Amino acid sequence: MVFYRKYRPQKINDLDNEKIRETLYTVFSSQNYPHAFLFSGPKGLGKTSAARIIAKVVNCENRKISSSSAKASKDRKSAKVSKESIEPCNKCNQCISITNGTNIDVLEIDGASNRGIDEIRDLREKIRLSPAAAHKKVYIIDEVHMLTTEAFNALLKTLEEPPAHALFILCTTESHKVLQTIASRCFQVHFKKATTEELVRSFERIVHAEKIKIDKDALELIASLSDGSFRDGVKVLEEILSLSKGERITKEIVEKKHNVTNINQQVNDLIKSFENHEAKNGLNLIAKIVDNGGDLKFFAQAVIEKLHQLLLAKVGVGEEIEETALSITDLRELIEALNRAYLETRYSVIVQLPFEIAVINWCQKEAQEEPKFETQSGEGEIKQAKKSEQEQIIAKKIDPRDPQLSVIEHKQPKLIEKNEAFWNEVIEKMKSHNHTIAGVLRGAHLQSINDGQIVIETGFKFHKEKLSETKTFRVLEEVCSQIAGKEMSVSVILKEKGR
């Protein structure tokens, strides 16, 4: 039997989420508990386990809290009830049958498979019958958000006027899809992703029972690979154990299995691919991680965390880290795209496909704010054509009619500086007309200004077509003429390969 099932929590104290433990202890400190619960949160956090524990708590034959003692306490807060007295005994017939899944008064229903109104109507008919042997008839409906609208409405009527012997526990990974009328009639408990401490607590229960020799820092690393999920974390622990061959499990063994030793360098390499819009490099990196048996979800999480740090640094929050050519908008869009890809891996036939699509979409999207162009090496090397805002501000305005500007001489740096200043002013003025075109111009090159003729060179056919559009071309000539102080004609050429 796999660890997750073998060591499924059997009482409230076994639940590793501290907030959930305290909530349930408070709720069941007397007999005046809700008739319906709504458990929400990501998969693998123990919602179903908690639901089964509740079923045992309300039906345990040896539970020490009596109805008479509960009624005697008018003030619930003043009642002093020990946590031990709330726990199920796990020894009586009711507890054992619920644990084994054979209790006929505790029904688990898959909302995805029984989502129609007929199934809920059948439930409504049967719920009127008294429990066969238990104190409460418990209905655990998993993935309740999958029910149809008609089924929800039928369930609502039951929740509004439930029999005294009935208890509902609705579980969902998408609480926003549950009708508000349903949610409002339930005691809502949200299961958040587990912390490192909670995950390690869960692992320690298992390693102690299995007598596994493992270092604490190895458990912490496994926790970081778990994405806040107890179920995923236990699966990783099992994988590592199967490879340890009885030896003590160290942090290094976990790193070797999941290829996380060079994770920082891989993260930086992918971000560099984003900066340069190099889809090929990004895809090769992902393929390498997958081919080497690396944990792609862990890698994606590390990339998102790094982008998050860069974003905070950009707006002056958090620690200062290295500079990046990515703008605030770039960082935000990348975080959103990779986060979507991360979530989509759950349903993807090819696990890396969502990430590959995210890389391709980013690197090939049209009209970048900061386009890239090929260098003269002709080897596909990408270079960023960007001038800092400070340089643009201090750049001197020059008169293009200066005869010295008729020819660009590479041996005369001053002439080059003047042409750059003119070009920067063109880009700045184009921003007020069309921000996208200004971005395209930033990736182009001012080849020459000669006797009222301006020649613009670009390395991309798409950019040439964009600049040559009638409306854009007209505005571009007007801006150039305005800056030059005389009528200027513009031509756009495509850079020849190999130049």
- pLDDT tens digit string along 265-283? 788 889 988 988 888 888 9
CA atoms within 13 A on the CB side of 485: 7
Question: 339 and 225 in one domain?
Answer: no
Last residue of one domain, picked from the residues 332, 364, 396: 364
Residue 171 domain-assigned? Answer: yes
The reported pLDDT for the residue numbered 87 is 93
Both tokens of 325, joined, read: 């050519």
- pLDDT tens digit string along 3-55? 888 889 999 999 988 899 999 999 998 888 999 999 999 888 999 999 999 99
Mean pLDDT of all residues in 489-493: 89
Of the candidates 326, 321, 270, the residue with the CA atom closest to the CA atom of residue 294: 270
Region for 207 from its dihedrals, namely left if φ exceeds 0, alpha if ψ lies in -120 to 50, beta otherwise: alpha
The reported pLDDT for the residue numbered 499 is 55
Domain residue limits at 423: 387-494
Task: Specify the range with the lowest mean pLDDT, choosing from 42-46, 123-127, 135-139, 301-305.
Answer: 123-127
Residue 109 has pLDDT above 80, yes or no: yes
Helix/strand/coil for 303? helix
Alpha helices in 277-327 (DSSP H): 279-291, 296-314
Of the candidates 383, 389, 388, the residue with the CA atom closest to the CA atom of residue 459: 383
Both tokens of 371, joined, read: 């386009």
Residue 284 domain-assigned? Answer: yes
The reported pLDDT for the residue numbered 325 is 82
Question: 423 and 336 in one domain?
Answer: no
Mean pLDDT of all residues in 472-499: 82
The reported pLDDT for the residue numbered 306 is 87
Last residue of one domain, picked from the residues 190, 214, 244: 190
Question: 269 and 246 in one domain?
Answer: no
Residue 168 domain-assigned? Answer: yes
Question: 81 and 178 in one domain?
Answer: yes
Give the pLDDT band of residue 200 (cuts 50, 70, 90): very high
Sheet arrangement for strand 445-450: 445-450, 453-458, 489-494
Beta bridge partner(s), residue 109: 141
Question: 480 and 406 in one domain?
Answer: yes
Give the pLDDT band of residue 495 (cuts 50, 70, 90): confident
Residue whose structure tokens are 């921003």: 431
- pLDDT tens digit string along 110-130? 877 766 677 777 787 888 888
Question: 39 and 156 in one domain?
Answer: yes
Residue 369 domain-assigned? Answer: no
Beta bridge partner(s), residue 384: 372
- The domain spanning residue 244 has which CATH number? 1.10.8.60
Task: Specify the range with the lowest mean pLDDT, choosing from 83-87, 184-188, 446-450, 462-466.
Answer: 462-466
- The domain spanning residue 31 has which CATH number? 3.40.50.300
Give the pLDDT band of residue 171 (cuts 50, 70, 90): very high
Question: 224 and 176 in one domain?
Answer: no
Of the candidates 49, 72, 412, 498, the residue with the CA atom closest to the CA atom of residue 231: 49
Strand 187-190 versus strand 372-374 pairing type: unpaired
The reported pLDDT for the residue numbered 65 is 56
Residue 371 domain-assigned? Answer: no
Greater model confidence, 296 or 65: 296
> What is d(CA 22, CA 35) in angstroms, rounded to the nearest whole number?
19
Question: 466 and 336 in one domain?
Answer: no
Last residue of one domain, picked from the residues 329, 364, 399: 364
Residue 231 domain-assigned? Answer: yes
Residue 95 has pLDDT above 90, yes or no: yes
Residue 418 has pLDDT above 80, yes or no: no
- The domain spanning residue 403 has which CATH number? 3.30.300.180
Residue 416 has pLDDT above 60, yes or no: no
Question: 171 and 24 in one domain?
Answer: yes
The reported pLDDT for the residue numbered 260 is 57
- pLDDT tens digit string along 362-411? 887 643 444 443 333 333 333 333 334 333 433 433 443 444 433 333 33
- At 158, phi and psi to the nearest 5? -70, -40
Question: 235 and 152 in one domain?
Answer: no
Residue 376 domain-assigned? Answer: no
The reported pLDDT for the residue numbered 439 is 74
Work out how many domains the chain is built from and give that number: 4
Residue 382 domain-assigned? Answer: no
Strand 382-384 versus strand 372-374 pairing type: antiparallel
Question: 97 and 49 in one domain?
Answer: yes
The reported pLDDT for the residue numbered 43 is 86
Mean pLDDT of all residues in 192-200: 91
Question: 303 and 212 in one domain?
Answer: no
Give the pLDDT band of residue 64 (cuts 50, 70, 90): low
